[in-house]
Chains A and B, each alone.
Chain A
Amino acid sequence: GNSVTQMEGPVTLSEEAFLTINCTYTATGYPSLFWYVQYPGEGLQLLLKATKADDKGSNKGFEATYRKETTSFHLEKGSVQVSDSAVYFCALSDGGNTGKLIFGQGTTLQVKP
């Protein structure tokens, strides 16, 4: 079945460091891919998405490229801020009319000043 695997956290970085959070997926067909962010005590917010191979999603300085050949959707940011501290979830939509999302286990990012 479809699945998503994220790198384990927590990831601890200093402010202005470069961020990469790895995400790989297993899916039949051509799923849409997403990154969601969860700030402490809150629900999830969509950070970015990509709907087909080679698409690059970007938002708030974050970006991720849909790589079909490596079945990956790694999240990157060139210079993190303390306010980026949160849990990041990679997800795929298995298509059809249900719109169900399959999530990775989440990666906690802590950015220190």
Chain B
Amino acid sequence: SQTIHQWPATLVQPVGSPLSLECTVEGTSNPNLYWYRQAAGRGLQLLFYSVGIGQISSEVPQNLSASRPQDRQFILSSKKLLLSDSGFYLCAWSNTEAFFGQGTRLTVV
């Protein structure tokens, strides 16, 4: 069966520090991969999606970037975090429906 792993579960980082969140998928090949952000009390915003290795599409201009170095690995990064980057980040993969990781609670202080 397919599983999705996302880590870390929680993260507190100072403003200006770098960020790396990792997501891996097992049990499927060539999945579509996504990074969503959920700000407090708000819905989910699609940040990036990828339909293949090295293929990244950005949905909104922002301080973050994404990479897909392997078929089942999706990384969300930042060189310098801002306070506004705080939120709940969710990785997902899909074929006919989307499956989500457990999320990372990022607090930028």
Contacting B103 at CB < 8 Å: which of A34, A42, A49? A42
Interface check B74, CB cutoff 8 A:
no
Among the stretches A12-20, A64-72, A77-85, A93-101, the one at the interface with B is A93-101
Among the stretches B14-22, B40-48, B62-70, B76-84, the one at the interface with A is B40-48
Assess whether A34 is in contact with B97, with CB atoms less than 8 Å apart. yes
Which size class do B's interface residues fall under? 20 to 34
Q: What is the size, in residues, of chain A's interface with B at 8 Å between Cβ atoms?
A: 22
Assess whether A44 is in contact with B94, with CB atoms less than 8 Å apart. no
With both chains docked as a complex, state the minimum distance between the C-beta of B25 and any C-beta of chain A, in angstroms: 13
Within 8 A of A (CB), among B54-109: 57, 59, 90, 92, 94-103, 105
With both chains docked as a complex, state the minimum distance between the C-beta of A106 and any C-beta of chain B, in angstroms: 5
Assess whether A44 is in contact with B43, with CB atoms less than 8 Å apart. no
Contacting B43 at CB < 8 Å: which of A34, A42, A104? A104
Interface check A45, CB cutoff 8 A:
yes
Assess whether A43 is in contact with B100, with CB atoms less than 8 Å apart. yes
